[in-house]
Amino acid sequence: MKHAPRLRRQKAADAYLAHTHLPWLGAAALTTTLPHIYYLPAWLSVTVTLLFLSCAAQWRYGYRVTRAWIRVLLTLAICAGIAFQYGFNPGRDSGIAMLTILAGMKLMELKSRRDSVVLLMLCHFLLLTHYFYSQNLLTGLWLIFSVLMVTAALLRIHAAANVAIRPLIGRAARLILQALPFMLALYLLFPRVSGPLWGVPQDAYGARTGLGNSMSPGSISRLSNDEGIAFRVQFVGAAPPRRQLYWRGPIFNYYDGNTWRGRDFSSAAPALEKRGQPLRYVMTLEAHRRNWLLPLEMPDEVVGLASRMSADGVLYSAQPILARTRVEMVSYPDYRLEARLAANRRIDNLQLPENYNPRTLALAASWRAETADSRQLAARALDYFRRENFFYTLEPPLSGRNAIDDFLFNTRQGFCEHYAAAFVALMRAAQVPARVVTGYLGGELNPVDGFLVVRQSAAHAWAEIWVEGEGWLRVDPTGVIPEDRVSANAQAARRIAAPEFAGQAIDWLQQARYRWEALNNRWNQWVLGYTPERQREVLAALGLSNPNLRRILLALAIVMGGLLLLFTLWLLYPRRAKPADPALRVWRKALTYLRRKKGVTAPDWETPLALAQRLRSPALLHLAQLVCDARYAGQPPKISSLRQALKALKQSENAGGGTPPAKNRSKRPPDYLA
């Protein structure tokens, strides 16, 4: 019983939260929640900002909300707002919003060390949620900085005395570096799973953009200013010329007067006649939630991914592309596709809606009356686009019910989907089977790493017509529009989508962009692209043959046990602790310098001032006085002044200050300041 007061005092000391802890806790919470402000609704972002400002007011003025009923009502109101914003179905966005709000609310009620530990554990959970939105290199660097701040805050709340910022950050960095071997072992050996772990919530992929499974006015123009990367390609050998860079995506056969849609006629692939030399390349697809693979026309072989080709020549994967996917492909730029067309497929590729676009039907019928040759009819339509006053723009005027009639005879302004749709309608009206093909055109060759980068802004639509004996032929009606009839915004989009590979001037800003994207690509290939297949290849290269799950777990246990043993031996190894006092460290450096350069040593009982007076050195006397002031004076000097005095001592001794050698010698510096 006599120890009860002491235990109560100890418990109270452990529960105490110092005023100087608040900046560290606020900084840790701020770094872990700040990137989420971009994805949260505006009212939630404002709420989180106000909560952080309340923490700053508590630190600066000592004010905080002490009434519990105010915090309870505020929490209930925020939870009701989140439920109204996201609905009552659990998902990624609603869960992250709740975690962010909880971190801010915890800042309002910080009273003890236990509250601060709960806040820091919540920050660790928030660190994982950032990869739900972005997995690029910049996110990884920010998370490393966030882990450093959270670790430093955890050390600060458990420190016995006030610690400066620099030593605290250094200690946190050392702890993270000590954990690095364990992290690498877990990264290399922990069994990988296919696909992302966070694909369960319904809104896990809601922020993705790209080509859709239908085409209506404006669907592709929305991607024209999107600088997001659709995929990267690395060719085995030189990249092909730009005229061959048509990346084949979904095909649309059915037209209802407003929207073009595709039809899955059968799962049988069309007959492909391969000509010329193949192109081999490795494609890294970004997640787009669809099944198409966007190969270079025309694909023949896919390695490393289960896939099939539809009757329209669209390459599909067995599963939707929900994560960054790396696949090897072989394509033939010179080919003949489906030399014979079945009767039912001919009917489907001649379909047009009834009672729509009468002027278009009449124009095509007049061309058909003059010639029945499919190539001549296609040339006639292209000449019509070239000869008439058509303009290429990303901001065309609105069309009415007969959208194609309005485009061909009234507005004559549009972008690739307008030209492709109008061309296909003209060909079908002239009894030539035709269809709309969407995908991407061109690409941007990164000279740093040699990867061809295809962005969302390179989204494109073109047409295919079927010619007897020749099969499906690609026709790009957008390419016949003269450059002087292309609007400024469309010219910028064209330059972004398909720049020339050689001869382009690259300024320093573009060069920096290339280097950053190349660095991001290496991050994607070697860190985020560490799939189960890549793991088996790495383990096989390390000598682990047939790396099944049992062998991988056994190797992981052996490596982790070995690391723990080495780390334990390193901790148990006896070493002389460095003095925590910075003034003592400077004085020991001075004694080491005098012993090595001048042969001067001092006994353990000799004080700094006595040694300086004995050696008759003004520079040493100045340093000794600063050391004594730093340890015993009420207002100690800055550590920088001690370092400058040590530097002055070395300069004076090197200049021949004449320090006489001493007879008293010792094998180590004195410990009288310890």
pLDDT of residue 224: 62
pLDDT of residue 307: 87
pLDDT of residue 457: 83
More confident residue, 283 or 655: 283
> In terms of DSSP bridges, do strands 391-392 and 413-414 run parallel, antiparallel, or are they unpaired?
parallel
The answer to whether 416 is a known catalytic residue is yes
pLDDT in tens, 605-661: 788 888 888 888 888 888 888 888 887 776 667 778 888 888 888 888 776 554 544
Q: Which pLDDT band holds residue 671 (cuts at 50, 70, 90)?
A: very low
pLDDT in tens, 134-184: 777 888 889 999 999 999 999 988 876 677 788 889 899 999 999 899 988
Least reliable range by pLDDT among 160-164, 226-230, 277-281: 160-164
pLDDT of residue 97: 87
pLDDT of residue 448: 83
Nearest to 615 by CA among 591, 637, 581, 635: 591
> Of 416, 418, 449, 484, which one is the catalytic site residue?
416
Question: Does residue 426 have a pLDDT over 60?
Answer: yes
More confident residue, 504 or 434: 434
Question: Does residue 308 have a pLDDT over 90?
Answer: no
pLDDT of residue 490: 54
Q: Which pLDDT band holds residue 379 (cuts at 50, 70, 90)?
A: very high
Q: Which pLDDT band holds residue 380 (cuts at 50, 70, 90)?
A: very high
Q: Which pLDDT band holds residue 193 (cuts at 50, 70, 90)?
A: low
pLDDT of residue 198: 47
The answer to whether 628 is a known catalytic residue is no
Question: Does residue 501 have a pLDDT over 80?
Answer: no
pLDDT of residue 376: 93
The predicted model gives 119-124 an average pLDDT of 90
Do 116 and 58 contact (CB within 8 A), yes or no? Answer: no
pLDDT of residue 466: 92
Q: Which pLDDT band holds residue 20 (cuts at 50, 70, 90)?
A: confident
pLDDT of residue 219: 59
Least reliable range by pLDDT among 212-221, 304-313, 457-466: 212-221
The CB-side HSE value for 478 (13 A sphere, CA atoms) comes to 25
Q: Compute CA distances 570 → 139, 170, 180, 338, whole Å.
A: 33, 19, 15, 70
More confident residue, 521 or 593: 593
pLDDT of residue 296: 93
pLDDT of residue 673: 37
Q: Which three-class secondary structure state does DSSP give residue 104? A: helix
pLDDT in tens, 49-81: 888 888 888 777 776 666 777 878 888 888 888
The answer to whether 476 is a known catalytic residue is yes
Q: Which three-class secondary structure state does DSSP give residue 283? A: strand
Percentage above 90 pLDDT, the chain = 19
The predicted model gives 213-235 an average pLDDT of 76
Q: Which pLDDT band holds residue 202 (cuts at 50, 70, 90)?
A: very low
Q: d(Cα 322, Cα 309) in Å, to the nearest integer?
A: 19
Least reliable range by pLDDT among 278-292, 317-331, 512-526: 512-526
Q: At 455, which helix (H) or strand (E)?
A: strand 452-455
Nearest to 404 by CA among 430, 428, 425: 425
More confident residue, 580 or 74: 74
Indicate the length of the chain as a whole number. Answer: 674
Q: Which pLDDT band holds residue 577 (cuts at 50, 70, 90)?
A: low
Highest mean pLDDT, choosing among 6-15, 90-99, 245-254 = 245-254
Count of CB atoms within 10 A of residue 545's CB?
Answer: 8
Sequence-distant contacts of 482-485: CB under 8 A, at least 24 apart: 482/386, 485/389, 485/390, 485/391, 485/392
The predicted model gives 339-352 an average pLDDT of 88
Q: Which pLDDT band holds residue 364 (cuts at 50, 70, 90)?
A: very high
pLDDT of residue 425: 94
Torsion of CA 642, 646, 652, 656, to 10 degrees: 150
The CB-side HSE value for 403 (13 A sphere, CA atoms) comes to 23
Question: Does residue 355 have a pLDDT over 60?
Answer: yes
> In terms of DSSP bridges, do strands 279-285 and 325-331 run parallel, antiparallel, or are they unpaired?
antiparallel
pLDDT of residue 95: 85
Question: Does residue 257 have a pLDDT over 70?
Answer: yes
> Of 14, 460, 507, 628, which one is the catalytic site residue?
460
Question: Does residue 674 have a pLDDT over 60?
Answer: no
Percentage above 70 pLDDT, the chain = 84
pLDDT of residue 428: 95
pLDDT of residue 381: 93
More confident residue, 673 or 309: 309
The predicted model gives 523-545 an average pLDDT of 76
> Of 21, 476, 628, 629, which one is the catalytic site residue?
476
Nearest to 454 by CA among 441, 437, 471, 465: 441
Q: d(Cα 441, Cα 457) in Å, to the nearest integer?
A: 9
Q: Which pLDDT band holds residue 218 (cuts at 50, 70, 90)?
A: low
Torsion of CA 276, 279, 280, 281, to 10 degrees: -170
Q: Which pLDDT band holds residue 489 (cuts at 50, 70, 90)?
A: low
pLDDT of residue 93: 83
pLDDT of residue 666: 42
Q: Which three-class secondary structure state does DSSP give residue 183? A: helix
N-to-C CA span, the chain: 38
pLDDT of residue 663: 44
Across the chain, what does the average pLDDT equal? 81
pLDDT of residue 483: 77
